[in-house]
Structure 1
Amino acid sequence: MTGLDKINTAWKDIKIKIAVTGKSGSGKSTLINALLNLKDDDEGAAKTGCVETTSEPTPYPHPNNRNLELWDLPGVGTPNFPQSTYLKQTNPEARDKWLHIVGRRVGNKSCTVEVRIRITMSTEAIARLSRLWTSSSSSFATKPRLLKSLVVINLLCGCET
């Protein structure tokens, strides 16, 4: 393999860790499960609930991209994770990107329309990223910009309510 070939394929080895954060009960774990194409009760799914279900940062590897990890973080602003110490407790340096979920707490029943829309938009953004990321027509320098501009922005817009 030539030096140029190594440069052109180096992007395949870049590991991306995306932290999903927001208030307790805002749908962070539900979003992660949807992006991983898992139901809440599937093996390996993020645990979901209405009150402080996630008690520590937990990684969930993407099934089709070994270099993509979604991190489910505890809800911000709870007694166990107050806003004043949240960043120190969740160690932001351990993740590459942060996705902040903005939304209202959902009830005990199945997902509301708001959460379904958020999941649909975010799933579509991840699918677009996967196609672009594996495309040989995108250069090594372009791929990180694609992540920042397409996925992160689309996920943020898709998650706001």
Structure 2
Amino acid sequence: MSRTPPATPATVALSAAGVQFSVRSYAHNPRSGSYGAEAVEALGVDPGRVFKTLMVDVDGTLTVAVVPVSSTLDLKALAAATGCKRAALADPKRAQRRTGYVLGGISPVGQRQPSPAVVDESALNFASILVSGGRRGFEIELAPVDLIQAISATVAPIAGLTPRA
């Protein structure tokens, strides 16, 4: 029995591009302190395989950064990877307007306005990774090379240290 995945801009874009993916859903807890940690726990997957999407202002250009939820984003490394000088997390309202997604559900795929994208090189260590599917509690599992191609991303070491609990 085949089940059609919920339609989000991300799933529509991947389907239109002919990219193979699967969806993983869970009941989002609005009191959760970390969307990424919640996904890891709810889905029971290696935290290195679940990637968060961060919108970053890199010298005035909104840029997509995709890093494991088990790590932080190294802003200096991202700036260097894009050939720029400064990077800072984007204003959340600006990120939501640009992408068309809500915080905790920002997908790197199917954004309202495409932005340059950088995926952390650790994604290539896995046959498949999970990224937000465009809603809280909704993840897309796909091959990292397919994600990189779908969003025309560059690959670079942009993950920083693992945050301490």
Mark yes or no: TM-score above 0.5. no
**More helix by percentage:** 1
Which TM-score band (shorter chain)? under 0.3
TM, length-normalised to structure 1: 0.21
Structure with more of its chain in strand, by fraction: 2
Larger radius of gyration: 1
Q: When the two structures are superposed, what TM-score results if normalisation uses the length of structure 2?
A: 0.21
